[in-house]
Amino acid sequence: MSKHAVITGTGRSGTTFIVELLTRLGVDTGFDVGSIQKHKYADAGMEINILESVSSPYVVKDPSFPDYVTRVIKRKDISLDHVFIVLRDLEAAVGSRLNVEQRTDKSLYKTGGIPGGLSGASTVEQQQQVLLSRVFNLSLQLASTDCGVTLVSYPLLVNNPDYLFEKLTPLLKGVTKERFLEAFDSLVDKSKVHKFSEMDITPEYRRYHAEQYEAKNCTPKSVMSQVFFDYGAGYSEKESYFLALTLDSKELVIDMPAGRPPRRVRFDPASEPCIIKLKKVTAESISGENVVLTDIASSGYKNESFLYFPDNDPQINIPCQQLTQSPRRLRIKFEYIDIGQGVKEKALPFIEKHFRRKIASLKKTIQESYENKSEKKSFVNKLKIWLLK
């Protein structure tokens, strides 16, 4: 069963900003920072239809989700973890759509309508009614489920990062507020926020449960990690130790055993599936020299600087033979992005990408071997034919 969190709403309400922000924070949105594409005039995009996508990511953004939510709920192979309904003043939402219609070169979109423009309507009155019906139908259908629902206000979400951080908490496991604010500040562009009605303003954020929220978020979860030393005979529990870290840990310092330099060091960041952002590994020699180590291996699946570990034995291997001097200590700068069994599903797109590359490489090797040698064993030829289908 595939599990998903859905971001939807009235449209023209900052949902693309939310998805791009989550992408930068390492949340599985189906995109990476380098591949984000938006429609030129709408300044929007990044939409995925759960029913039409072969392998949907965990977080899916689709303004048209209310149109097919009933079919999603009926599916036994799809589970809705959470739905975020992003709302904007109705007159402003329609006004923004009309603005997109007027600015867009219509020759670029001869079929299917203009992205970010009018949807299911041809007049302002019709569009308002369509948006009202969509949001009501979505709310009605979700009322019969135990799916978590969060209402998000635009433009409040782009003007108050503390508000957005709290609203997106269900998706931000392992993401510290400091890191969230850093990503928010680097992405937000308030020059793109336009007012299309008298009510299209930023309201005050009225908090009713501030004390409970602060208490819940001031105590980071403890994570049990383990460090191993390999002195030439491989890793063993005997040559290891456990240490408790927290989800807001930024650095791990490993002091080397005196007079006994290991060949390799292994850092197991958790005893359950997790996502790690590995920033830098530095070796400090006895003389005080710092060397950045680059030949780092892991049991995870890499996506940019993020490592996805889908099993209960995540491992990061650090070779020490490359150093000219015995290291006195290692410094591992990293961040916990997410932890728990939910990581398994979030890792699937990157596992699939990994094996596609492996298969492509194998195809190429077999093709080259087949072309360079006239005589091949029959099983190699059969394997080539099977792989090239």
Which segment, 37-51, 83-97, 248-262, 265-279, is predicted with the most confidence on average? 265-279
State the average pLDDT for the chain. 85
Residue 102: the pLDDT is 66
Burial 269-298 (b: 16+ CB within 10 A, else e): bbebbbbbbbeebbbbeeeeeeeebeeeeb
Residue 198: the pLDDT is 83
State which amino acid sits at residue 182: E
Q: pLDDT tier at 362 (50, 70, 90 boundaries)?
A: confident
Residue 41: the pLDDT is 38
Angle of CA points 60, 8, 56, to nearest 5° = 15
Sorted by where each begins, the domain ranges of the chain are: 2-192, 222-343
Residue 336 pLDDT greater than 70, yes or no: yes
Out of 3.40.50.720, 3.30.360.10, 3.30.365.10, 3.40.50.300, select the CATH number for domain 2-192: 3.40.50.300
Residue 40: the pLDDT is 41
In the numeric block, which tokens belong to residue 272?
Answer: 């359950």
Residue 387: the pLDDT is 57
> Rounded to 10 degrees, what is the CA torsion of 254, 257, 263, 264?
-30
Q: pLDDT tier at 341 (50, 70, 90 boundaries)?
A: confident
Q: pLDDT per residue over 308-331, tens digit each? A: 999 999 999 999 887 778 888 999
Mean pLDDT on 57-75:
94
Residue 176: the pLDDT is 81
Residue 366: the pLDDT is 74
Range name among 12-21, 86-95, 240-249, 319-328 with the lowest pLDDT average: 319-328
Q: pLDDT per residue over 170-186, tens digit each? A: 998 778 888 899 999 99
Q: pLDDT tier at 140 (50, 70, 90 boundaries)?
A: very high
Residue 375 pLDDT greater than 60, yes or no: no
Residue 235: the pLDDT is 95
Residue 105: the pLDDT is 59
CA distance 214 to 218: 6
Query: In terms of pLDDT, which residue wins out, 98 or 147?
Result: 147
Q: What is the pTM of this model?
A: 0.58
Residue 382 pLDDT greater than 70, yes or no: no
Q: pLDDT tier at 193 (50, 70, 90 boundaries)?
A: confident
Residue 373 pLDDT greater than 70, yes or no: no
Range name among 11-25, 67-81, 354-368 with the lowest pLDDT average: 354-368
Helix (H) or strand (E) holding 355: helix 343-372
Question: Tell me, which fold does domain 222-343 have in CATH?
Answer: Jelly Rolls (2.60.120)
